[in-house]
Structure 1
Amino acid sequence: MVHVHKPKVEYFDIEARTNTDPKGFVREVEQYRVEPWGLYMARTADHHAFHYLESWLIPTLGLRATIFHYYPEHRRDQNFYVDLGEFTIGPTVWKSVDHYLDLVVRSGRDVELLDLDELLEARTAGLITTEEAHKAIEQAFVAVDGMASHDHRLEPWLESRGIALTWSTEVPAPPRSPATKG
């Protein structure tokens, strides 16, 4: 049985340099960068498994590509985590509405689709429309197919579409892991 929840909504306030997560927590953002095709965000995190995250929101493709900087004991076998959804561009505030589906990218090896069961349960429960569910599935398959045609790599696929991602070269060193504090 899948736990059904409303689509997660997040806000990216460029002017205030904040990111409001789906639970309403407001976090300071170290860096925002706007490109004609997307928005970059980098910030610290107070998560038990990672201390920093970098994301690119790409509205035309309906995706958010994230690099999580994990604590050593929580590292995962992934290069990118991609959320699929709807991204609205405002003059100073961008909004994302998560459409349940996620992709785990292991560059040069594979791309794994996650949470199809959540999407279907959300549709059955009336939390999203048939059109939104269809769009999410279509976005996922465009992304998977695009990356597969580029050796299961996110960045070369995006570059073929005129989108060049750049990431921070100065990610702060991790503080002690919350699990090891004491």
Structure 2
Amino acid sequence: MHPPKTQVFDPSARLQIDTKGVERPAHELRVHDWGLYLSRPVVARPNAWWIETWVLPELGVCLSDWYWRPGHERDQDLYVDVAEIVRDGPLLRMTDLYLDLVVRRGRETELLDVDEYVAAVAQGLLEPRLAELALERSHAVLDGLAAHGHDHEAWLASRGIELGPRAEPVPPADLRG
């Protein structure tokens, strides 16, 4: 079992920095009152070519919309990471709390990775405060999405959050027609 994964979002440098310190430049990164929006190409992942991410510190979630390569499509409209997100000056530091959700808009929301969460708690990789936070947040997200017909935009609007315009993804050369 791995320790919690972390990410840092640096708006001034337009970077997303992962647990290993790998810097991923953003095609677009915008700061909002509710958090930040990032759009960037996906590298070193053969099944996806682009990702859009919305980091929402007050809700403790990171929403992602993946653009899949042909033949790798998934039955999901949105992937939700449950996280602790802390503002550190202009930076947002995110610690993944193992629990994830997949939203199938208008149909259902599925909770994932409960096995990883249980193993992390059992092995002491997730302190009790964060373990409790993960459960509270995952249930709040599930409840909110279910109450709004599994529509993330309707749920967020009920909380006063409008995600705003999306960037235009730039397909890699092998996908341009």
Q: After TM superposition, is the score higher than 0.5?
A: yes
How much has 1:153 moved relative to structure 2? Answer: 1.0
What residue in structure 2 maps to residue 11 of structure 1? 8
Please give the TM-score of this superposition, normalised by the length of structure 2.
0.94
- Contact residue 54 and residue 167 of structure 1 kept, 8 A: no
Distance 1:167 1:111 in 2: 24
What residue in structure 1 maps to residue 135 of structure 2? 137
1:101 to 1:93, Cα distance in 2 relative to 1, 3 A: same
Question: Which amino acid in structure 1 is aligned with residue 159 of structure 2?
Answer: R
Question: Which amino acid in structure 2 is aligned with residue 26 of structure 1?
Answer: E
Distance 1:28 1:114 in 2: 28
How much has 1:23 moved relative to structure 2? Answer: 2.6
* Displacement over 3 Å in runs of 4+: none
Distance 2:78 2:72 in 1: 15
How much has 1:123 moved relative to structure 2? Answer: 0.9
- CA RMSD, 1 decimal: 1.3
**1:42 aligned to which of 34, 39, 42:** 39
What residue in structure 1 maps to residue 123 of structure 2? 125
What residue in structure 1 maps to residue 30 of structure 2? 33
Distance 1:174 1:155 in 2: 28
Question: Which amino acid in structure 2 is aligned with residue 11 of structure 1?
Answer: V
Distance 1:72 1:90 in 2: 39
Residue 173, structure 1, aligned to residue 163, structure 2: no
**1:74 aligned to which of 72, 75, 87:** 72
Q: Which moved more, 1:109-118 or 1:88-97?
A: 88-97
**1:21 aligned to which of 18, 36, 61:** 18
Distance 1:152 1:56 in 2: 17
* Superposed CA offset, 1:19-61 (max 9, x none): 1122321111111111111111111111211111110111111
How much has 1:110 moved relative to structure 2? Answer: 0.4
Question: Which amino acid in structure 1 is aligned with residue 105 of structure 2?
Answer: S
Distance 2:162 2:70 in 1: 28
Question: Which amino acid in structure 1 is aligned with residue 63 of structure 2?
Answer: A
Q: Which moved more, 1:72-81 or 1:161-170?
A: 161-170
Q: Any idea what SS the aligned residue of 2:130 has?
A: helix
Any stretches of 5+ residues in structure 2 without a counterpart? none
Residue 116, structure 1, aligned to residue 114, structure 2: yes
Question: Which amino acid in structure 2 is aligned with residue 50 of structure 1?
Answer: A
Q: Any idea what SS the aligned residue of 1:117 has?
A: helix
Question: Which amino acid in structure 2 is aligned with residue 40 of structure 1?
Answer: Y
1:167 to 1:116, Cα distance in 2 relative to 1, 3 A: farther
Distance 1:169 1:107 in 2: 21
